[in-house]
Amino acid sequence: MRIKFPGTARCAAWLFALAAPLALGQGSTVDEIAKYRAALQDGNPAELWEARGEDLWKQPRGPKNVSLEKCDLGQGAGVVKGAYAQLPKYFADADRVMDLETRLVWCMVQLQGYADADARKNPFGSPDRKSDMEALVAYVTGEARGAKINVALDHPKEQEAYRLGEKMFYFRGGPHDFACVTCHGDDSKRIRLQDLPNLTKAEGAQLAYSTWPAYRVSQGELRSFQWRLNDCFRQQRFPELVFASDASIALTMFLARNANGAAFNAPAIKR
């Protein structure tokens, strides 16, 4: 790369090549990854997804040509600020517990007139097929940055979802005889060089849940918490977790509730 500075203007320029390889050293790897994350914090491309999501939220779309601005995410129609920190929760109008994605699908169907299948398609993006759902999730979660995670277990259906999620977390199965807890039940476990959070402890659950969604540098994509769960299922060789299904809501409920009290800090940036 060549940079020229015209005239007499004194300039300094830095360019962070986001794909720069990691300096790996056994033992100090964790510190090095932390440094790498800190260096990237400033220019998190997740902001591009947030901006696109905000645009999608405000744009009249769908067969009814209306925006999502009247969508009730649990804090009243149109309230986005901080709403994600209290999801999943029970919604009386749908008579079920919903996480953010399920609620967005609901609003797209009820308000914008999309067919249910259309609202659910393409939940996770790839370079040649951007996902509107992921952008919307980026926007809504970004609006909850700094909010305290506060997931309630007041309604019987919320308690039921939590219990089901807990059961799933400890359920061993698949060709590897794995459960979520196999990898996420002890401190200082890792896959290759990645530290795995201990999700049975409050600190582990808080650290993990409050930092998704995240821009994954290695993939060049923003990834939602739903995507994280799906990929865990893939790694366990479990059947595919159906997007916005009761099972996926229940597992989200279990992990979100365990993260209660943490300050939400996403969309983040991860390796």
Q: Does 13 bind other proteins (CB under 8 A)?
A: yes
| One residue of 33, 36, 45, 246 binding other proteins per CB under 8 A | 45
Distance spanning both ends of the chain, measured CA to CA: 24
Long-range contacts of 22-31 (CB under 8 A, 24+ apart): 22/271, 24/193, 29/193, 30/195
Q: Does 188 participate in binding other proteins (rule CB under 8 A)?
A: no
Give yes or no for residue 220 binding other proteins (CB under 8 A).
yes
> What number of other Cβ atoms are within 10 A of residue 40's Cβ?
19
Residue 117 engages other proteins in binding (rule: CB under 8 A): no
21 binds other proteins per the rule CB under 8 A? no
Cβ distance to other proteins smaller for residue 32 or 47: 47
Q: Which of 29, 32, 36, 51 binds other proteins (CB under 8 A)?
A: 51
| Residue among 48, 77, 94, 115 that touches other proteins (CB under 8 A) | 48
Active site residues: 232
Among 43-51, 65-73, 103-111, 233-241, the segment contacting other proteins (CB under 8 A): 43-51
Using CB under 8 A, pick the residue from 27, 127, 156, 175 that binds other proteins: 127
Shortest Cβ 128–other proteins spacing (Å): 9
Angle formed at CA 258 by CA 119 and CA 107, multiple of 5 degrees: 20
Q: What letters, b where the CB count within 10 A reaches 16 and e where it falls short, cover 244-258?
A: beebbbbbbbbbbbb
Q: What are phi and psi of 159, to 5 degrees?
A: -65, -40
Angle between helices 100-110 and 132-142 (to 10 degrees): 120
Q: What angle do CA 58, 114, 94 make, to 5 degrees?
A: 90
2 binds other proteins (CB under 8 A): yes
From residue 252, give the alpha-carbon distance in Å to each of 28, 86, 105, 212, 226. 32, 12, 16, 12, 8
| Shortest spacing between CB 2 and other proteins, in angstroms | 5
Comparing CB distances to other proteins, the nearer of 14 and 191 is 14
Is residue 39 within 8 Å of 268, Cβ to Cβ? Answer: no
Near other proteins by CB under 8 A, which window of 36-44, 57-65, 88-96, 164-172?
36-44
Instruction: Work out whether 43 is an interface residue with other proteins (CB under 8 A).
Output: yes
Residue 19 interacts with other proteins (CB under 8 A): yes or no: yes
Q: Which two tokens stand for residue 241?
A: 């977790």
Binding site for other proteins (CB under 8 A): 1-7, 9-20, 42-45, 47-48, 51-52, 127, 220
